[in-house]
């Protein structure tokens, strides 16, 4: 196994002109001259625990170090720490950045942490991306993440001794993984790389889309990746949000020619390579206006641990086809109570761990209409989503519900609670434009965005 060496100062051993010194791992790049050596042990979480159980000791063995010569490697398999000793002295990482072999005893400066090549890459990813500490929902930006003495990874106020945290759990990395604060208190880091996507096709829907994007960027302050499936041009979309980074905007031609194809287009996000790297991935109908900064909403989505949608308290699962009652009844499922959710806004923490749920909804929808006809399921994806949630993988309806207001005609004429967004699905489709324009005007006046 190829490994690097981390010093007690939180930097790495590098090789330069045949000798060893120290260099920092930065968000910009992994040092090109990082000193690598082949380590024979299978150093993973299971191996560390096995060594802990039996208080395992290893037999020292000789290796060659550049500029030092032959030394004996002494390895603690429980901590993953090593030291290097020649006949009389230990290798020491000095505060001046040099490594010398002249210390008579092993103390902190003479102790190094073995870091696998995979863990080096993980640390690099940690330094350059945004994360959420799940227990506090605190967003940590790259400027707040650093490697320091210990060695310790500091994430905002959270300190992670690397002896007790490496190697990181791989199951869901980089999207989420457990951390051990101060060495033992468990928490979780969750990747925050938000993506929002829309589907907008046809003159009236494009007008709704334009207003929704305006509110998302200028009121919601959204700063992630943005996908728009549409028949509008990229120039038309970019003109609505002129300050939005062009490299973060993806405009995709939407080729559907009927309502079923239009609605089903939201599953296209499953095939996007960019979306596979994002967390969370959130869909919004075009008849939505953001009325407050949306960062907290996206953080709640990514921390939910399951897909999220807003509950419709007035739509009962047992009797309302719009939330899947028709499918549940045909599956002979007896529902005694409970309400369904609205699928006009939903969040997926990440597609790696939860994309299979979206694929299941797509499969139910596709297979049902293939068997019964394209016009057989009036509520389409929302009915299928509620059915899949009840039968297979439950959606969370608490995290998103508190951020969403369902908008009716009267809501266009009062600012109301600034919860996050207003979804104007309570107004007939062909009558939504004017109420949305009026409400957006109220919002811009409130946030002093009118020039």
| CB half-sphere exposure, 7, CA atoms < 13 A | 25
CB within 8 Å of 46: residues ≥ 6 apart: none
| CB-based contact 292:380 (threshold 8 Å) | no
Token pair belonging to 169: 């759990």
- Is residue 54 over pLDDT 50? no
The mean per-residue pLDDT over the stretch 241-253 comes to 95
pLDDT reading at 375 higher than 90: no
**Least confident segment among 73-77, 88-92, 180-184, 213-217:** 73-77
Least confident of 11-15, 213-217, 364-368, 428-432: 428-432
Which tokens hold the place of 53? 């159980």
- Taking the C-alpha atoms of residue 250 and residue 240, their distance in angstroms, rounded to an integer, is 14
Q: What is the pLDDT of residue 88?
A: 87
Tell me the per-residue pLDDT of 118-144, one tens digit each, with 9 for 90 and over. Answer: 999 999 999 999 999 999 999 999 999
- Could you give the 3-state DSSP secondary structure of residue 317? coil
More confident residue, 58 or 292: 292
Pairing of strands 195-200, 281-284: parallel
**Window from 192-196, 210-214, 331-335 with minimum mean pLDDT:** 331-335
Within 108-202, residue ranges assigned H as helices are: 117-128
Decide: 265 and 253 in contact? Cβ < 8 Å: no
3-state secondary structure of 387: helix
CA distance linking residue 155 with residue 146, whole number of Å = 7
How far CA 357 is from CA of 228, 351, 403, 445, in Å, comes to 22, 9, 23, 40
- What number of helices (H) and strands (E) belong to the chain? 10, 26
Angle at which helix 203-218 crosses helix 433-446, to 10 degrees, equals 20
- Over pLDDT 90: what percentage of the chain? 67
Q: Retrieve residue 271's tokens.
A: 């095939």
Q: Is the dihedral of CA 195, 298, 305, 154 positive or negative?
A: positive
Taking the C-alpha atoms of residue 115 and residue 7, their distance in angstroms, rounded to an integer, is 10
Q: To the nearest whole percent, how much of the chain has pLDDT over 70?
A: 95
Average pLDDT of the chain, as a whole number: 90
Give the separation between CA 216 and CA 449, rounded to whole angstroms. 13
Backbone angles phi, psi at 230, to 5 degrees: -160, 170
Residue-by-residue DSSP string for 131-152 = EEETTTTEEE-GGGEEEETTTE
Closest to 313 measured CA to CA, from 405, 432, 418:
405
pLDDT at 52: 44
Give the domains, in start order, of the chain with CATH numbers: 2-117 (2.80.10.50), 118-191 (no CATH), 195-446 (3.90.550.10)
DSSP H or E run through 27: none
In the predicted model, what is the mean pLDDT of residues 156-180? Answer: 93
CA-based nearest residue to 251, from 221, 267, 230: 230
Q: How, if at all, do strands 339-348 and 308-316 pair?
A: antiparallel
N- to C-terminal Cα separation, the chain: 61
Report the distance separating Cα 77 and Cα 190, nearest Å: 29
| Residues 2-6, mean pLDDT to the nearest whole number | 90
Q: Is the pLDDT of residue 272 over 90?
A: yes
- For the record, the structure tokens of 321 come out as 């086809």
Cis peptide before 330 (omega within 30 of 0): no
Residue 225 DSSP SS3: strand
CA 140-143-146 angle, 5° bins: 90
Q: Write out the H or E segment, with its range, that includes residue 351.
A: helix 351-372
Q: Stretch 68-77: mean pLDDT, rounded?
A: 83
Sequence length of the chain is 451
pLDDT at residue 426, rounded to an integer: 87
Q: Please, which pLDDT band fits residue 53 given cuts at 50, 70 and 90? A: very low
Dist CA 38 CA 380 (whole Å): 56
34 pLDDT more than 70: yes
Cα–Cα distance, 216 to 249 (Å, whole number): 13
pLDDT level of residue 47 (50, 70, 90 thresholds): low
Query: pLDDT tens-digit profile of 59-70?
Result: 667 888 888 888
Strand order, beta sheet including 421-423 = 288-290, 421-423, 404-406
Check whether 373 has a pLDDT greater than 70: yes
146 vs 264: which has the higher pLDDT: 146
* pLDDT beyond 90 at 371: yes
Residue 263: predicted pLDDT: 81
- Please state whether beta strands 195-200 and 225-230 pair in parallel, antiparallel, or not at all (unpaired): parallel
Residue 348 · residue 300 · CB < 8 Å: no
Which position has the token pair 């550049």? 66
Give the Cα separation of 166 and 443 in Å (integer): 48
């Amino acid at each position: 196994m190829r490994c690097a060496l981390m010093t007690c100062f939180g930097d790495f051993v590098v090789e330069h002109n045949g000798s060893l010194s120290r260099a920092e791992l930065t968000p910009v790049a992994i040092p090109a001259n990082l000193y690598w050596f082949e380590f024979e042990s299978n150093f993973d979480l299971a191996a560390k625990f096995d060594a802990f159980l039996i208080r395992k000791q290893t037999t020292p063995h000789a290796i060659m170090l550049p500029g030092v010569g032959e030394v004996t490697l002494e390895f603690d398999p429980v901590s993953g720490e090593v030291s290097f000793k020649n006949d009389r002295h230990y290798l020491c990482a000095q505060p001046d950045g040099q490594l010398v072999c002249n210390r008579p005893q092993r103390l902190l400066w003479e102790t190094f942490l073995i870091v696998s090549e995979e863990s080096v890459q993980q640390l690099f990813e940690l330094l350059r991306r945004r994360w959420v500490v799940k227990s506090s929902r605190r967003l940590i930006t790259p400027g707040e993440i650093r490697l320091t003495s210990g060695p310790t990874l500091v994430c905002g106020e959270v300190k992670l001794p690397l002896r007790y945290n490496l190697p990181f759990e791989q199951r869901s990395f980089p999207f989420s993984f457990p951390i051990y604060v101060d060495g033992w208190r468990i928490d979780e880091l969750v990747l925050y790389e938000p993506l929002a996507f829309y589907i907008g096709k046809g003159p009236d829907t494009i007008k709704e889309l334009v207003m929704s994007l305006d509110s998302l960027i200028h009121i919601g302050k959204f700063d992630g990746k943005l996908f728009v499936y549409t028949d509008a041009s990229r120039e038309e979309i970019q003109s609505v949000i002129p300050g939005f980074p062009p490299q973060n905007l993806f405009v995709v031609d939407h080729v559907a020619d009927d309502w079923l194809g239009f609605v089903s287009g939201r599953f296209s996000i499953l095939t996007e390579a960019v979306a596979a790297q994002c967390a969370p991935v959130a869909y919004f109908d075009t008849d939505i206006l953001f009325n407050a900064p949306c960062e907290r909403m996206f953080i709640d989505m990514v921390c939910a641990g399951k897909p999220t949608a807003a509950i419709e308290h007035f739509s009962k699962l047992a009797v309302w086809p719009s939330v899947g009652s028709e499918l549940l009844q045909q599956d002979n499922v007896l529902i005694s109570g409970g309400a369904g959710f609205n699928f006009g806004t939903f969040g997926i923490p990440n597609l790696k761990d939860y994309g299979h749920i979206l694929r299941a909804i797509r499969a139910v929808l596709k297979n049902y209409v293939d068997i019964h006809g394209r016009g057989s399921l009036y509520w389409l994806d929302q009915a299928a989503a509620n059915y899949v949630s009840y039968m297979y993988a439950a959606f969370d309806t608490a995290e998103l519900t508190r951020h969403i207001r369902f908008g009716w005609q009267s809501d266009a004429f009062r600012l109301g609670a600034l919860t996050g967004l207003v979804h104007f699905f309570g107004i007939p489709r062909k009558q939504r434009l004017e109420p949305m324009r009026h409400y957006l005007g109220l919002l811009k006046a409130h946030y002093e965005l009118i020039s």
